[in-house]
Structure 1
Amino acid sequence: MSEKVQGPKSYFPSIEAKYGRTIDEWIEDLRPLAGRKHMDQVAHLKEQGMGHGHANALVHVFRAEHDGA
């Protein structure tokens, strides 16, 4: 029996469904912003039409797993 995904990653299925891009594509989109402030990264995603909650969840995971900042 698999565990239910919790935390920011629980938003990933709805992010992919709503915006038509995979999480990996969004992560690649954020890579040039590595090292920038959290809210700068969120603002970048919001400029592309993503809602604040989804952007915040994605940036949280990006910073924890890919950013190094």
Structure 2
Amino acid sequence: MNPVKIIGALLIVAGVLGLAFGGFSFTKETHKANIGPINLSVEEKESVNIPLWASIAAIAAGAGVLLIGAKKG
């Protein structure tokens, strides 16, 4: 399998995952204060939304790459 087909397949998978989940979240730890031996830290939960148009564009781009790779190969 050549690299062009792998890139196309990865784009399609990423687009489908974006459609299925719509985003992801993660926690970020920040240190707010260090007072002697006491460290105060805060964990913040951040979320990233993946737009619908970006998921559809990734699927279309992946299909296009696969079609172009099939015509050249």
TM-score (norm 1): 0.30
Structure (1 or 2) with the greater helix fraction: 1
Higher relative contact order (CA 8 A, sep 6+): 2
TM-score (norm 2): 0.29
Larger radius of gyration: 2
